Amino acid sequence: EFINSRNYCRIWRSINYNIYSFLQKALGNWGNSDRKRSGSPKATTESQDKFLRVNSLHDWWLIGQQLNSGRRKQVSVSTMKRRLRAAGLTGRVEARKLLLRCQNKTKRLAWAMKHCHWITEE
C-alpha cells in the first residue's frame, strides 16, 4: 500500500503526540491541576473552609443557613454544602428508628390494654 506524504505526516504526528502524552503523564505534568482557575474566584478561602468545617463538627445540628448567619461574608447555602461535602461531612438521616425504652413500652401496653375493647365505629 502506498503512503503519500500527507498520510505519512498525519501518522507521524499522531505517533509523536502519543509519545509526548505518555511521557507527560509519566512525569506528572499532564492535566490541568496546576492551571489557574478560570471564571470567577472562589467565594471562600481555605481558612474560611476550615472554619466552616470546624464549626460544623462542633455544632453538628446546625443547618447551612444558621452556620452562614455567624459569618461576615455571606455565601450561598449550596456553596457551603459543596465545601462540607468536599471535607467529607455529609448530612444524613438515621437509617432506623431508635428502639423504644422500657418506659415507652409499658405506656404503650397500658394504652392498648385500656382501649382493646374499642370497635371500629367508635
Cα distance between residue 77 and residue 117, in whole Å: 53
Torsion of Cα atoms, 96 then 101 then 106 then 109, to 10°: 0
Binned at pLDDT 50, 70 and 90, residue 107 comes out as: very high
Cα distance between residue 113 and residue 107, in whole Å: 10
Report percent pLDDT > 70 for the chain.
82
pLDDT digits (tens, 9 = 90+) for 53-91: 888 888 877 877 787 777 777 888 888 888 888 888 877
27: Cα separation from own chain's centroid: 30
0.85 cut: is pTM over it?
Answer: no
pLDDT at 8: 64
Q: At 11, phi and psi to the nearest 5?
A: -65, -45
Cα distance between residue 33 and residue 46, in whole Å: 17
Cα distance between residue 80 and residue 59, in whole Å: 15
